[in-house]
Amino acid sequence: MLRLVCIGLVAGLFSALFGVGGGIVVVPLLILLAHFDERPAMATSLAAIGLIALVGAVSYGVHGELKVGAAAVVGLPAAAGAVGGAWLQQRLATRTLTLAFAALLAAIAVWLLV
């Protein structure tokens, strides 16, 4: 219980600071600290991220930083896309594709950094 609270605190801080769900910290922490198996860790983190993102959005909304229209323009098509992506994962997730995606992320990161 105490461990879950600590993970939640860290995840909330991370999520709000970066505007991401925080799965990258929640999944490993659930596995390492709370002794979850990988699959339940990923599924539980998804549910927790929904809550964390909701709390974050409300908090930023109170601070007046939220652009609801922009969020909808990107977020609603993404929800449809994610269903397709999960379907594709069974069929074409390969090492080459994952490496290509990692390279794409690194390229955007470099763009942001320079």
Min separation Cβ 42 and other proteins, Å: 7
Min separation Cβ 32 and other proteins, Å: 14
Of the two residues 32 and 72, which places its CB atom closer to other proteins in the complex? Answer: 72
d(CA 61, CA 65): 6
Min separation Cβ 16 and other proteins, Å: 3
Question: Residue 112 CB: number of other CB atoms within 10 A?
Answer: 7
Cβ–Cβ under 8 Å, residues 34 and 3: yes
Of the two residues 32 and 77, which places its CB atom closer to other proteins in the complex? Answer: 77
